[in-house]
């Protein structure tokens, strides 16, 4: 939950000719944005939508469309 390995994402993207999915470590929208900007075509971020706060309490959550557009320049 501390972000993905951005160096690895970039290396894999440069080696493969298929879409790359970043999975593991994504806990914030910033983590997801960084992974996409490093070359991932998409991200898997289940924990980000379930665990919230310092105690990682279970709370189903989803970012607003405005937040998504801002982070991913959509």
Does the predicted model carry a pTM greater than 0.75?
Answer: no
pLDDT at 44: 87
pLDDT digits (tens, 9 = 90+) for 22-42: 988 888 889 999 999 999 999
Domain ranges of the chain: 6-72
Q: b/e string for 34-65 if b means 16 or more Cβ within 10 A? A: bbbebbbeebbbeebeeeeeeeeeeeeeeeee
Q: With 0-12 CB in 10 A as exposed, 13-18 as middle and 19+ as buried, what is 17?
A: exposed
d(CA 43, CA 61): 16
Mean per-residue pLDDT of the chain: 85
Position 45 confidence tier, pLDDT thresholds 50, 70, 90: confident
């Amino acid at each position: 939950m501390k972000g993905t390995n951005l160096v690895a994402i970039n290396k894999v993207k440069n080696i493969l000719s298929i879409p790359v999915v970043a999975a593991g470590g994504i806990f914030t929208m910033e983590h997801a944005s960084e992974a996409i900007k490093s070359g991932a075509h998409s991200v898997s971020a289940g924990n980000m939508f379930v665990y919230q706060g310092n105690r990682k309490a279970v709370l189903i959550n989803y970012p607003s469309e405005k937040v998504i557009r801002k982070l991913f320049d959509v």
